[in-house]
């Protein structure tokens, strides 16, 4: 007969459906889940207090005797029990509520006159009388135990309506108290626990759930925080080691090829950073082990040039490169940019093409049948050395002659199956270059992209112009009028103006926000704590509405105004973008489809409406569309956010600096870490429980070093089966996608 795992018992079986149902709302299904539901904070231990010295708002414990108790129904049909207790001199009221009076009978029997005990709760006042509402009661026979309990910190758990924190604590104790060491497998290897004097997992759980003092729960949390980091870093180290053991085709550089020809005609000088990163990538491409590299950098730092040089290196060596982009607008822009940079080097097989030219094919889901067939043929035959596309590249019908390099742009928008589907199109594991336009704080890079080598571009190419940013109060007509006058001035001087809105049309905000994430990648801040009341009441500005308003403004009379958003047909998107770039429609009202990769040198001004509803890093990316020509850029953030709110702080911070890494770190502090780790893409909270990447860099570093040492000994972690089991349990499904996106 198989022994029952005490940590795998369904809560419905442990406590019954009535208790399990509210716990399920917290995502808790088993006894193990319940033990991993840690207190969010600890209240000060209740101190034994004389009734005479009680103060409203204090959390207290009093020792007293019951004088009387009575239960009755309220006018609403609920049950109300009131009791009076005394310390011999002064009296205090106790109040209890229930859904009906019958549910209070057991409490009334417990609080019979003459019984002594400890009563713990927060002091309040009702009709000039001090009271404790719903206090915890320890009476007579458990008085000594209650005295001990009263001196302990009080765990406060994340709870749900109808199942308060104290009930969760009681359920936790019911599971935790009978456990033995052998019941609780420990993922942290014994030698690491001994080295750092860490408690076992069972000890740590008791320290955080039933601490005697602050030092105990802090010690327990520290051990559990390290465990989280070790499990995550061990899996990252395993993935890195597994990739290192596979074979890739070594792509040796070729003198006199496409890369040399491209470098010779570059109209600018590569920065030292671009050159150094490019040399490192070239060395990895020439090796027979798959390159796994993350390329990040400041807005406008030249990541596309570095990626293109890597792709040309692979093409020179007889292979192909695929560039995967998250949206059709960005994919089309990448294809245009690459063709523009390559010139006749991208016209392989066509009249006027260079003798050793290749082709850049574009493959998206909405291409006309003939164009799609041609792009697929170019990819399959090898005529296209570079294939740019969206999810359409992942189709089983898309084949490559010799896929040697996968470049993934905006990696966080893709999941595990999508990335693997593209890599599987190569005969041998292709080299991989992940690009992100959002600077990533080092602790996040270690936590989410820990299995990748990281390259950082922190220099801007010569000639890049500065960008000035201002916050414009949305409720000040003079300021908003001046905003549109400024747009007219820039357009009159030959510039282009972006106007960014958080949604497409005038539908309800929730539906619009959901569609914006799906269609355009808009990352709306919807937390009530982040959005001011005025902004929440005011409907979010929409592309179609704003375009109509601007066309009707006298100060923009005669100015062509175009629109761009994710629901437009591909031909319409191309036409709108071409009209904007040429100046036929120099004002483009758009969603955040222009966030990354879009390059219009004449763009000099950007107006972001409802700017407080965007994340700090996303605003920085949007702003990066400016200053790409010979003229400086101006970014105007229109917002109704009140001074002092988090939303306003984000905007003022953006206006104060153009350092993307500084902004990314601040964004991490201002917003929920789940957003930064990618959970916001699915509306779920972060998979981290106690570990915080903003605070725990030293813990993550230590765990990373330890994990790599373990994996160097055995990549399968066979000597540490409990660690391997913890990886399989905690890093599956959605959480695994965070890693796979790396």
In the DSSP assignment, the letter for residue 497 is E
Cα 303-333-487 angle, rounded to 5 deg: 95
Give the pLDDT score at 741.
Answer: 41
User: Has residue 742 got a pLDDT over 50?
Assistant: no
Partners of 387 in the beta sheet?
A: 322, 361
Q: How far apart are CA 243 and CA 514, in angstroms?
A: 36
Of 451, 453, 250, 435, which Cα lies nearest the Cα of 324? 435
Q: How far apart are CA 455 and CA 470, in angstroms?
A: 32
Give the pLDDT score at 677.
Answer: 42
Residues 6 or more apart whose CB falls under 8 angstroms from that of 511 comprise none
C-alpha radius of gyration, the chain, whole number: 31
Q: How far apart are CA 423 and CA 237, in angstroms?
A: 20
Cα 489-492-494 angle, rounded to 5 deg: 115
* Residue of 438 and 80 predicted with greater confidence: 80
Give the pLDDT score at 686.
Answer: 44
Task: Note whether 107 and 128 are within 8 A (CB).
Answer: no
> Tokens 């026979």 correspond to what residue?
141
pLDDT tens for 452-477 read 788 888 766 666 668 899 999 998 99
Three-state DSSP state, 321: strand
* Residue of 508 and 365 predicted with greater confidence: 365
User: Has residue 517 got a pLDDT over 50?
Assistant: no
Give the pLDDT score at 175.
Answer: 95
Give the pLDDT score at 418.
Answer: 63
Give the pLDDT score at 669.
Answer: 67
For residue 452, the tally of other CB atoms under 10 A from its CB is 22
In the DSSP assignment, the letter for residue 542 is B
Of 145, 172, 138, 133, which Cα lies nearest the Cα of 156? 172
Three-state DSSP state, 231: helix
Residue 351 region by backbone torsions, left for phi larger than 0, else alpha for psi between -120 and 50, else beta: beta
HEC states along 124-148?
Answer: EEECCEEEEECCEEEEHHHHHHHHH
User: Has residue 355 got a pLDDT over 60?
Assistant: yes
Per-residue pLDDT, averaged over 178-201, amounts to: 96
**Sorting pLDDT into bands at 50, 70 and 90, what band is 333?**
confident
pLDDT tens for 134-176 read 888 877 655 566 566 667 787 888 888 767 777 888 899 999 9
User: Has residue 92 got a pLDDT over 70?
Assistant: yes
Give the pLDDT score at 450.
Answer: 67
Cα 628-633-639 angle, rounded to 5 deg: 130
User: Has residue 737 got a pLDDT over 50?
Assistant: no
**Sorting pLDDT into bands at 50, 70 and 90, what band is 328?**
confident
Q: How far apart are CA 590 and CA 585, in angstroms?
A: 13
pLDDT tens for 654-671 read 898 887 777 777 776 665
3-state percent breakdown (helix, strand, coil) of the chain, nearest 5: 45, 20, 35
Report the side by side order of strands in the sheet with 561-564.
Answer: 467-473, 633-639, 603-608, 496-500, 587-590, 561-564
Q: In whole angstroms, how far apart are CA 29 and each of 33, 35, 206, 579?
A: 6, 11, 20, 56
Q: How far apart are CA 289 and CA 286, in angstroms?
A: 9
Give the pLDDT score at 448.
Answer: 63
In the DSSP assignment, the letter for residue 631 is S
User: Has residue 331 got a pLDDT over 50?
Assistant: yes
Range with the lowest mean pLDDT among 56-65, 102-111, 219-228, 283-292?
Answer: 56-65
Q: Which tokens sit at 355? A: 């003798």
Of 568, 708, 741, 730, which Cα lies nearest the Cα of 192? 708
Three-state DSSP state, 343: helix
* Residue of 344 and 299 predicted with greater confidence: 344
At residue 308, φ and ψ (nearest 5 deg) are -65, -40
Give the pLDDT score at 24.
Answer: 92
**Sorting pLDDT into bands at 50, 70 and 90, what band is 680?**
very low
For residue 558, the tally of other CB atoms under 10 A from its CB is 6
Out of 264-273, 534-543, 577-586, give the one with best mean pLDDT. Answer: 577-586
HEC states along 60-128?
Answer: EEEEEEEEEEEEEECCCCCEEEEEEEECCCCEEEEEEEECCHHHHHHHHHHCCCCCEEEEEEEEEEECC
Out of 531-545, 566-580, 720-734, give the one with best mean pLDDT. Answer: 566-580
Task: Note whether 277 and 306 are within 8 A (CB).
Answer: yes
HEC states along 4-63?
Answer: CCCCCCEHHHHHCHHHHHHHHCCCCCEHHHHHCCCCCEEECCCEECCHHHCCCCCEEEEE
Give the pLDDT score at 532.
Answer: 40
User: Has residue 649 got a pLDDT over 90?
Assistant: no
Give the pLDDT score at 514.
Answer: 46
User: Has residue 427 got a pLDDT over 50?
Assistant: yes
User: Has residue 733 got a pLDDT over 70?
Assistant: no
Strands 116-126 and 587-590: unpaired
In the DSSP assignment, the letter for residue 481 is H
H helix or E strand, kind and range, residue 154: strand 154-156
When the pLDDT of each residue in the chain is averaged and rounded to a whole number, the result is 83
């Amino acid at each position: 007969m198989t022994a029952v795992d005490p940590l795998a018992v369904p809560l419905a079986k442990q406590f019954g459906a009535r208790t399990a149902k509210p716990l399920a709302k917290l995502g808790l299904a088993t006894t193990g889940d319940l033990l991993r539901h840690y207190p969010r904070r600890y209240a000060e231990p209740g101190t034994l207090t004389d009734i005479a010295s009680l103060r409203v708002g204090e959390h207290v414990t009093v020792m007293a005797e019951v004088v009387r108790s009575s239960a009755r129904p309220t006018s609403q049909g609920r049950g109300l029990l009131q009791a009076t207790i005394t310390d011999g001199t002064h009296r205090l009221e106790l109040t209890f509520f229930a859904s009906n009076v019958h549910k209070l009978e057991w409490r009334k029997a417990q609080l019979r006159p003459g019984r002594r005990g400890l009563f713990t709760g927060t002091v309040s006042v009702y009709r000039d009388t001090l009271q404790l509402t719903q206090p915890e009661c320890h009476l007579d026979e458990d008085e000594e135990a209650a005295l001990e309990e009263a001196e302990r910190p009080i765990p406060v758990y994340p709870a749900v309506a109808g199942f308060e924190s104290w009930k969760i604590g009681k359920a936790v104790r019911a599971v935790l108290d009978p456990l033995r060491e052998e019941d609780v497998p420990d993922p942290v290897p014994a030698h690491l626990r001994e080295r750092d004097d860490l408690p076992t997992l069972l000890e740590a759980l008791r320290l955080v759930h039933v601490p005697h003092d602050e030092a105990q729960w802090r010690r327990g949390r520290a051990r559990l925080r390290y465990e989280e980091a070790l499990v995550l870093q061990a899996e990252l180290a395993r993935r890195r080691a597994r990739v290192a053991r596979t074979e890739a085709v070594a792509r040796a550089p070729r003198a006199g090829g496409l890369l040399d020809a491209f470098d010779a005609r570059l109209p600018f000088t590569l920065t030292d950073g671009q050159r150094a990163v490019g040399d490192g990538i070239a060395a990895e491409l020439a090796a027979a082990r798959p390159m796994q590299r993350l390329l990040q950098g400041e807005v406008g730092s030249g990541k596309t040039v570095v990626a293109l040089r890597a792709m040309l290196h692979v093409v020179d060596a007889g292979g192909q490169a695929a560039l995967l982009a998250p949206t059709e607008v960005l994919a089309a822009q990448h294809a245009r940019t690459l063709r523009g940079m390559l010139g006749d080097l991208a016209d392989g097989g066509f009249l006027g093409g260079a003798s050793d030219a290749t082709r850049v094919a574009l493959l998206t889901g909405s291409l006309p049948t003939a164009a799609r067939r041609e792009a697929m043929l170019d990819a399959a035959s090898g005529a296209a050395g570079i294939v740019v596309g969206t999810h359409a590249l992942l189709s089983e019908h898309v084949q490559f002659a010799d896929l040697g390099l996968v470049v993934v742009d905006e990696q966080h928008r893709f999941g595990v199956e999508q990335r693997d589907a593209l890599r599987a199109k190569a005969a041998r594991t292709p080299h991989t270059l992940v690009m992100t336009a959002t600077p990533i704080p080092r602790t996040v890079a270690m936590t989410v992209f820990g299995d990748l080598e990281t390259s950082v571009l922190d220099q801007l190419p010569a000639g890049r112009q500065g960008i000035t940013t201002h916050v414009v109060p949305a409720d000040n007509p003079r300021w908003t009028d001046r905003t549109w006058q400024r747009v007219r001035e820039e357009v009159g001087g030959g510039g282009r103006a972006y106007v960014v809105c958080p949604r497409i049309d005038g539908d309800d905000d929730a539906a619009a926000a959901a569609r914006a994430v799906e269609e355009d990648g808009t990352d709306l801040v919807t937390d009530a704590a982040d959005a001011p009341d005025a902004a929440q009441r005011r409907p979010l500005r929409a592309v179609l509405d704003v375009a109509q308003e601007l066309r009707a403004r006298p100060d923009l009379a005669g100015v062509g105004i175009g629109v761009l958003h994710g629901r437009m047909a591909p031909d319409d998107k191309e036409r709108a973008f071409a009209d904007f770039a040429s100046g036929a429609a120099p004002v483009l009202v758009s969603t955040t489809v222009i966030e990354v990769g879009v390059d219009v040198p004449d763009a000099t001004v950007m107006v972001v409406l409802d700017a407080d509803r965007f994340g700090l890093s996303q605003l920085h990316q949007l702003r990066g569309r400016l200053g790409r020509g010979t003229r400086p850029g101006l970014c105007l953030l229109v917002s109704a956010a009140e001074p002092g709110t988090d939303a306003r702080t984000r905007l003022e911070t953006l206006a104060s600096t153009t350092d993307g890494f500084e902004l990314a770190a601040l964004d991490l502090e201002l917003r929920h870490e789940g957003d930064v780790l990618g959970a916001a893409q699915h509306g779920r909270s972060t998979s981290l429980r106690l570990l915080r990447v903003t605070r725990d860099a030293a813990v993550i570093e230590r765990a990373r070093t330890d994990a790599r040492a373990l994996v160097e000994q055995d990549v399968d972690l066979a000597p540490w089966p409990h660690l391997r089991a913890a990886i399989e349990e905690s890093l599956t499904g959605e959480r695994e996608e965070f890693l796979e996106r790396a």
